[in-house]
Chains A and B, each alone.
Chain A
Amino acid sequence: MATTAADRPQQHAEAPDSVVVRFAGDSGDGMQLTGGQFTLSTALAGNDLATFPDFPAEIRAPQGTLFGVSAFQINFGSREINTAGDAPDVLVAMNPAALKVNLAALKPGGLIIADTGEFTRRNLEKARYEASPLDDGSLAKWQVLAFDISAQTIEAVKPFGLGNKDALRCKNMWTLGLALWMFDRPREPLHEWLRAKFRTKPELADANIAALDAGHAYGETAELSGPLRKLHIDPVESAPGLYRTITGAEAVSLGLVAGAQLADLPMFFGGYPITPASSILHHLARLKEFGVTTFQAEDEIAAICAAIGASWAGQLGVTSSSGPGIALKTEAMGLAIMTELPLVIVNSQRGGPSTGLPTKTEQSDLYQAVYGRNGDAPLPVIAARSPGDAFECAIEACRIAVQYMTPVMLLTDGYIANAAEPWKVPDPAGFEPFPVSFLKEANGPDGALLPYKRDANGARPWIRPGTPGLMHRIGGIEKAQDTGHIDYSPDNHQAMTDARLNKVLGVAVPDQDVCLGETTGRLAVVGWGSTYGPIHQAVRRTRASGHSVSHIHVRHIWPLPANLGDLLRGFDKVLVPEMNTGQFKTLLRDQYLVDAQPLTKTSGQPFQIAELEAAIATYFDGIAGDAGGETVEPNDQQLPNPVGVEQ
């Protein structure tokens, strides 16, 4: 065992309130699986947590290469956790490439656990290392625990007669075993999980369990001599109730199922495989017993068109994609707007333009969502801020779609889709149902049918084909008011354009709250979507040093909350951090003529708290905080994350 920091002060001398661990390896090393299982054990231990899976677009990138590195980061603690953490305290590097790619992020003094079995000459060359970093002193500012995990694993699974290749595939379980030991977690749930996973191949289950146990046992031994210390993170204080972990994709799926049931409708989901949106299709395909029909269409266009066809026929049509696929669906969205049929469109945004960064996160489809169609084609847009929040947003999207007879776009992103967090399991009885009623008989004078007669919401009636006596035709050509007949006349187009616009602008949107800080002040940091966590923490820290800064996080992107303009005018400055080149900033300027300033990032990576904190600090240069930085009273009741109350 090689350690290079024996003379350093011991890390974790006392238990911190949070720890960030990053598992990194080849894309074939099973790092996402390891991370996912570690997440589950963390949740079961009662810690709050946030995760960040970060993997290459290639399924099996060439082994040992820098671009083939797959990583999974988890931040967990005994306090409320909002982000996956700026910098890891612990980096598990399964090969030289994983070390090289991830080292820069590691906290000074942080712990590197490296598998020397993979630090071969060939792998070092592939990672463009001239000499092994484990030996050349270049890792001096970190603690290093380097030993041959590969050999340890092979030794552990020897009794099961696996070939060398299969034996080495148990490495991730060995590593997970070590991590479980480090953070004082029980192994039993993992044993159970492995037995279930390899039900048909018990020898593989036994081998993986042996590897896991061996990794765990290794911790006991290593503790005696190295930098490794067992660390117990206390559970976070949480509201009482039943909890589970949930990813954004799962939350969207469950929210859609709930939304359809609250609308008293079967759901039709049309999808086409695309990263990072496919997992919603996968989840829903397993929920047929909830009245869900999933249809894997021949392309993105067919996926949305089939969903619109299903909505026309009386089901709740839903489609989902990511930016490039959403672009293909654009024309069909226009038809759903013109024919005024309900539809939910989920966009799990990724880096763009074009194919862009398929597996990386970005928020650069806001213009596309709000403006990106031909003609004056308004539709409501909602953005989820976290995996758990995506559940509520999906229900909200269903509600608006059926109550206003309109397509609704729900924005999530690659980060939300893949990241996991603890989720307080909601009680379905607590939701307000919004059952749909279809038109059953003619609604005009003298028995006339008026398919485009509007209700108080500006919505037209929903008329199911098959209903006797209500036959009528709809389509993409401009409709006459009330009758819905083809009508190209100037006054009618003006009136219908206005009606479509006003219907969407009239969607009931709750007033905007301030999720942290006062409702007036020096600086408002305004975010939307998955930047919630880092903005929240950065604002909290700045407030702790006594500065007048508030965090406003907008869910309803279109229409915007009615009070938002006044709210923003109550601040001297407005800063809008977002993972694009300033799209929401432009929307706010346009709507309110406020001097919203952009803070943009398009690296495919989420914001770090520290970089936001530094940007916010520039607004307070030369301004002293209120003496001594008095304690901030966080407004936690409005947080979507049900877990955790700040100490």
Chain B
Amino acid sequence: MNAPVKFETTLKDWETDQEVRWCPGCGDYAILKAVQRTMPMIGADPAKTVFISGIGCSSRFPYYMETYGFHTIHGRAPAFATGAKLANPELDVWLVTGDGDGLSIGGNHMLHVLRRNVNMQIMLFNNEIYGLTKGQYSPTSRVGTKSPSTPIGSVDRPASPAAFALGAGARFVGRGFDVSKHLPEVLIAAHAHQGAAFVEIFQNCIVYNKDVFEDFAAPKGAEDRQLWLKHGEPMLFANGTKGIGLDRERLCLTVVDVIDGDWQAAGVLVHDVANRAVAHMLVEMPFGPFPMALGVLYDDPRPTYESAVAEEKGKASEGKDTSLARLFAKGQTWTVEAAGHPA
């Protein structure tokens, strides 16, 4: 856990006096509530919790959390968060970003915060659109997305946030969606992970990209279209009648039928959050032929960046003289005596 001492709070303690300014029906409201519900569950201390965001609809998030918050500039939140975490490793850092902020203008910083493994939770709200600038297509928009800037439809292929994160070296990749009741579980796991924990949250932009995730997020038929992954449990969906198996010839995932609940006979994989090879397949698993992989897809911690920095700093400082006078006089020196000439 990030906070060694459990702090007693209620959901109300995490609400601010600021009027929430998202569009009515925006998925962000549900995410905000999920996060505010999560905070008491993890025993977080509001004074030590910080929310750092970039620019966009998602990035208004910090204003609505009764914690320390920094609404920074477009795409750069990971860099601010890295500086803050290095300056004070005791801070429990939450980063809020979107598909445009985190993968377009800020794609470079996202890459580096993940590979460095700075201990923080990164929530990327993916609504596949630029909401705050009124509906242009985003780097995660599907081919053919019609928008003010792509009136005939977008032609470029979308980025996959979870695949990007894993490729960048993330040691934790989770997925959820705005109105899912399981979202807090994913956030709790992300928080428990020591290191950069990347959580892609599908979020419904009610104005510019309405119901774009409805095909898997809708409650009706959800059991057929959502695969909630749990460590140590078989990858089953459709009420246990289907599962995810491995095509050992082609080295790819495949959907298998489970007869009479005998998933072992059907060759259904057991989810191991530390299996990076399978994680790569899960983040790439296309929705349609497969269900949407949700929950904790990957979780295998490595030493954090800030701990490595602190350790190196400690070693480098060991037994070192910290007198400014000696620092200034380093190297070869000479003394001029009162007479005005070198001695």
Contact = CB atoms under 8 A, between A and B. Distances in A.
Interface of A: 40, 43-46, 189, 235, 237-245, 254, 257-258, 261, 266, 268, 270, 287-290, 293, 295, 297-299, 301-303, 305-315, 317, 331-332, 334-335, 339, 425-428, 464-477, 485-486
B69 A313 contact: no
Interface stretch (B220-228, B257-265, B329-337): B329-337
A241 B325 CA distance: 13
Contacts of B339: 240
B83 A268 contact: yes
A40 B82 CA distance: 40
A465 B335 CA distance: 47
A290 B326 CA distance: 12
A297 B329 contact: no
B324 A238 contact: no
A486 B59 CA distance: 14
A473 B16 CA distance: 10
A428 B66 CA distance: 43
B52 interface: yes
Contacts, number: 212
Contact of A243 (B18, B323, B336): B336
Nearest to B306: A293
- Which residue of B316, B330, B333 has the most chain A CB atoms within 10 A of its CB atom? B333
18 contacts: A239-B336, A254-B327, A258-B324, A288-B316, A289-B316, A298-B79, A298-B112, A305-B72, A305-B76, A305-B83, A309-B52, A309-B83, A310-B83, A428-B323, A464-B88, A471-B68, A473-B62, A486-B63
Contact of B73 (A299, A305, A485): A305
A76 B198 CA distance: 60
A120 B91 CA distance: 66
Given A298-B111, A428-B325, A466-B48, 14 more contacts: A43-B334, A240-B337, A242-B329, A243-B333, A243-B335, A268-B87, A308-B72, A310-B86, A311-B83, A313-B91, A332-B73, A335-B73, A471-B67, A473-B68
A44 B332 contact: yes
Contacts of B331: 244-245
Given A243-B336, A290-B322, A465-B91, A475 B79 contact: no
B83 A308 contact: yes
Given A293-B313, A308-B80, A475-B71, A428 B328 contact: yes
B342 A45 contact: yes
Given A293-B86, A306-B80, A471-B68, A238 B336 contact: yes
A470 to B, nearest CB: 7
Interface in B56-78: 62-63, 66-73, 76, 78
Given A240-B337, A305-B73, A297 B79 contact: yes
A310 B84 contact: yes
B69 A466 contact: no
B80 A309 contact: yes
B79 A302 contact: yes
B68 A465 contact: yes
B181 interface: no
Interface in B27-60: 46-48, 50, 52, 55
B47 A469 contact: yes
Q: Report, nearest first, the 5 A-B pairs whose CB atoms are least far apart.
A: A475-B71, A309-B83, A306-B83, A46-B342, A473-B69
A467 B90 CA distance: 12
B71 A474 contact: yes
B170 interface: no
A466 B89 CA distance: 11
Contacts of A305: 72-73, 76, 79-80, 83, 109
A466 B86 contact: no
A297 B330 CA distance: 28
Contacts of B48: 465-466
A92 B81 CA distance: 52
B70 A289 contact: no
B324 A257 contact: yes
Contact of A475 (B62, B337, B340): B62
Nearest to A463: B68
A240 B335 CA distance: 7
A266 B322 CA distance: 13
A614 B47 CA distance: 65
Contact of B334 (A44, A268, A298, A426): A44
